[in-house]
Structure 1
Amino acid sequence: MDELVKEGVKAKYITPPMITMTSPSHFTTITGRWIEDHGVVHNMMFNSTSLLKLTHKATLKRSEWWDNGPLPLWITAQNQGLKTASYFYPGGGANYSGQAVDRSLVENYGHPDDNETEWRQKIDTVMDWFTKEDFDFVTLYYGEPDNVGHNVGPETPERRKIIEQIDRIIGYLRTSIQKNKLTDSLNVIITSDHGMTTIKKKPEVKEIKLSENLNFMTLTHFDLLDYGGFGMIRPKKGKEQEVYDALKNAHPNLTVYKKEEIPEHFHIAKNSRIQDIVLIGDLGFNLNSRVIFYVNKGDHGFSNQEMDMKMIFRAFGPDFKKNFLAEPFDSVSIYPLMCKLLGVNPAPHNGSLTDTELMLVENVGAVTTGNPQSSSTTLPGRGGSIQMSVSLLAFVMLIISLL
């Protein structure tokens, strides 16, 4: 990782979307859209009317959870003649308006996240896709150091050990690129989905236990709680104000919003999947609903403004400058950067190429002003529309979960 700073680009940090969870953050990166636009509002697929709840891995092939209008880059690139693949990337196993990713591998239940031999095999497979099958764009996902961080906490020897393993696998990737003679044609972005923090536990603090202030049986219809620092509640009809009043001063480290009061800069309120009441714990304070049974030593889901929730960013390859330190930017702006590298005319997005273009060498194509109604429109709040003209280079994005 240190060598990559010399060989390419490092950002001081990246700000993830407000719901700092795996699925919402990954889909923001691959679409360039805020959560309220793309609709993947949680790791769990849910329906607050039928009371359906599905775990993260059970959602990975459920197109009705992922396909909400905005197209991920895999599909946009394919529609412009490129060949794309997803290796365990969340959302890669779904269909979008009937279209599937050219090549998609989806993680199964019980798949080991920490097997270093299997990590190398993934890279070998991706290198074959580029050299033998002419793929243009591949997203590759690794689930660690997420599990370790949850189980023992981020500031532990076990956590450092798994990060050393990640460092070795990045070294293996660099060697594989050289061995496969891709050094002059393959751009690589390494990033994460969010951060992790140590969870504050008794006896040091008073933990958040919502049942001490709220009767779930009589007042609530549906909730997504007991899941890190972010939660949602749908009160029973006519009980909205009563639920809000019961919770707004329930704990000094809890912030409660009615849906219509959610700050605009969160970019989550304008989606129908966001429930009537949104709760956010202060950094390190998990939300417990009926009982305190949460066993994680480390977690996320807290405000994206907290430094512990920020993402990493490294990039190297023929189109990136060397030894360049980039200023922080929002993760939505990774999308237009990827489009520029691929020569793809981007779909509407919330990112801005001005956030990242200084990290590129000067000859990476031209940027021209396009029709604001064209498919390259940048959505309101993030600058003008862009169209790309760039020599086509293969590209891989490597996602490390929670580094």
Structure 2
Amino acid sequence: MLSPNSHYIPFLLVFNARPDFYTLYIEEPDSSGHSFGPVSSGVIKALQLADQTLGMLMEGLKQRNLHHCVNLILLADHGMEKTYCSQLEYMTDYLKQSNFYIYVGPAARIRAYNVPKDYFTCKCGPISPQHFKPYLTPNLPKRFHYANNIRIDKVHLLVDRQWLAVRDKGYTFCDGGNHGYDNEFKSMQAIFLGYGPGFKEKTEVDPFENIEVYNLMCDLLRITPAPNNGTHGSLNHLLKKPFYNPLHAKEESSPSSCPVVSLTPSGELGCTCSEVSRSTLLPICENCS
């Protein structure tokens, strides 16, 4: 049995004039991860089929003597977390009004049906423990870079690992797997593998964000990237010969000497704590210059 994507492989290999850039999307093991959970026989079978597809690609490159000429990047856009029907947060337990719509899941969003005229109140707190944190869009963590667009919903729920936020007890698609949790969760991280003449060999690096991959691909193609949110040059440590070396701004002034030599305050601070006295305060350094 072969992956549904395997029939694309011969098509990718028969161009008379070889393109500079190919993409191939394999939908597995995402679908199986949702259905069976990330640690399951269903996901193992899906990974085996995906591996067969990549094997066909590599074999085709070897037959054409191109396997040492082509740079390959294998990556995914997210991980997968196990979910349970016993770990659901029902929004009808919290919301005073029922006239709302919810995008369910690990990163749920809520909207009133008649936005922006109608608003609802969320009585978050009376149920304990609460397995989500509600945010209005302006208050979302800045690291999400998710605030400056009229299409973004106004209320967001950041849900704990392995929990889902849903509308009511009628929701049943919950035993399996899901993604969309906080991208700092280990389970949301995904694979990245680079192979080819442009990449260093047998090199393992620390995790990085997927927004950096675009600049990396542009460097491998020797083209200048369009403006983007990545940091150009941040993945140079993956490459044998980096195409782009960022120039850092020149320092406007030399570092100044440390003016502080002691933690002892020069004036009274109004402290009445009997356990702390000036004799217990130690100098920061003897010579800071």
TM-score (norm 1): 0.56
Q: Is 1:314–2:198 an aligned residue pair? A: no
- When you count helix as a share of all residues, which structure comes out higher? 1
Q: Is 1:303–2:182 an aligned residue pair? A: yes
Shift of 1:215: 4.7
| Cα pair 2:85 2:175 within 8 Å, conserved | no
1:211 paired residue number: 92
Instruction: Give 2:165's aligned amino acid.
Output: L
Q: Is 1:263–2:122 an aligned residue pair? A: no
1:164 paired residue number: 48
Q: Is 1:133–2:13 an aligned residue pair? A: no
| Secondary structure of the corresponding residue to residue 141 of structure 1 | coil
Pairwise mapping of residues 319-358 of structure 1 onto structure 2 (< 5 A)?
A: 319-358=198-237
1:121 paired residue number: 7
Query: How many aligned positions are there?
Result: 244
Shift of 1:217: 3.6
Instruction: Give 1:116's aligned amino acid.
Output: L
Bigger relative CO (Cα 8 Å, ≥ 6 apart): 1
Structure-2 separation of matches of 1:313 and 1:296: 28
User: Which of 147, 165, 168 does residue 287 from structure 1 map onto?
Assistant: 165
| Secondary structure of the corresponding residue to residue 354 of structure 1 | coil
| Secondary structure of the corresponding residue to residue 234 of structure 1 | strand
Structure-1 separation of matches of 2:247 and 2:73: 26
Q: What is the RMSD computed on CA atoms of the aligned residues?
A: 2.3
Structure-2 separation of matches of 1:253 and 1:125: 48
Compared with structure 1, are the counterparts of its residues 189 and 177 closer, same or farther at alpha carbon in structure 2 (3 Å cutoff)? same
Give 1 or 2 for the bigger CA radius of gyration.
2
| Cα pair 1:288 1:294 within 8 Å, conserved | no
Structure-2 separation of matches of 1:333 and 1:300: 21
Deviations 1:179-226 (A, max 9, x none): 122223311000001011110332xx4x211112225544x3xx3422
Shift of 1:292: 2.3
Q: Is 1:234–2:115 an aligned residue pair? A: no
Unaligned ranges ≥5, structure 1: 1-114, 371-403
Deviations 1:9-59 (A, max 9, x none): xxxxxxxxxxxxxxxxxxxxxxxxxxxxxxxxxxxxxxxxxxxxxxxxxxx
Deviations 1:156-196 (A, max 9, x none): 12211221222232222221111122223311000001011
| Cα pair 1:248 1:255 within 8 Å, conserved | no
Structure-2 separation of matches of 1:216 and 1:293: 22
Instruction: Give 2:83's aligned amino acid.
Output: I
Compared with structure 1, are the counterparts of its residues 179 and 309 closer, same or farther at alpha carbon in structure 2 (3 Å cutoff)? same
Compared with structure 1, are the counterparts of its residues 146 and 234 closer, same or farther at alpha carbon in structure 2 (3 Å cutoff)? same
Instruction: Give 2:52's aligned amino acid.
Output: R
Structure-1 separation of matches of 2:183 and 2:244: 33
Shift of 1:153: 1.2
Unaligned ranges ≥5, structure 2: 249-289
1:142 paired residue number: 26
User: Which of 59, 77, 80 does residue 175 from structure 1 map onto?
Assistant: 59
| Cα pair 1:232 1:274 within 8 Å, conserved | no
Instruction: Give 1:254's aligned amino acid.
Output: F
| Secondary structure of the corresponding residue to residue 355 of structure 1 | coil
Shift of 1:248: 5.8
Compared with structure 1, are the counterparts of its residues 124 and 248 closer, same or farther at alpha carbon in structure 2 (3 Å cutoff)? farther
| Secondary structure of the corresponding residue to residue 329 of structure 1 | coil
Deviations 1:121-180 (A, max 9, x none): 212211224xx2331111110100111111111111221122122223222222111112
Pairwise mapping of residues 83-122 of structure 1 onto structure 2 (< 5 A)?
A: 116=2, 118-122=4-8
% of aligned pairs identical? 26
Structure-1 separation of matches of 2:228 and 2:125: 34
| Cα pair 2:109 2:155 within 8 Å, conserved | yes
Structure-2 separation of matches of 1:248 and 1:339: 48
Compared with structure 1, are the counterparts of its residues 258 and 133 closer, same or farther at alpha carbon in structure 2 (3 Å cutoff)? same
